[in-house]
Amino acid sequence: MDKGSIDVPDAADLDAAARRYRASQGWSLPDCGHPARPVDLHGAEDLRRAIHAVGRGRSDPHDAIRRHVEERARALG
Q: Classify residue 77 by its DSSP letter.
A: -
Distance separating alpha carbons of residues 15 and 39, to the nearest angstrom: 19
Residue 20 Rama label (left phi>0; alpha psi -120 to 50; beta): alpha
Average pLDDT by stretches of 10, the chain with 77 residues: 81 84 85 78 82 70 81 85
What angle, rounded to 10 degrees, do the helices at 43-52 and 62-76 form? Answer: 150
d(CA 44, CA 63) in angstroms, rounded, equals 21
Can you give the pLDDT at residue 63? 79
pLDDT at 42: 81
Helix, strand and coil in the chain, % to nearest 5: 55, 0, 45
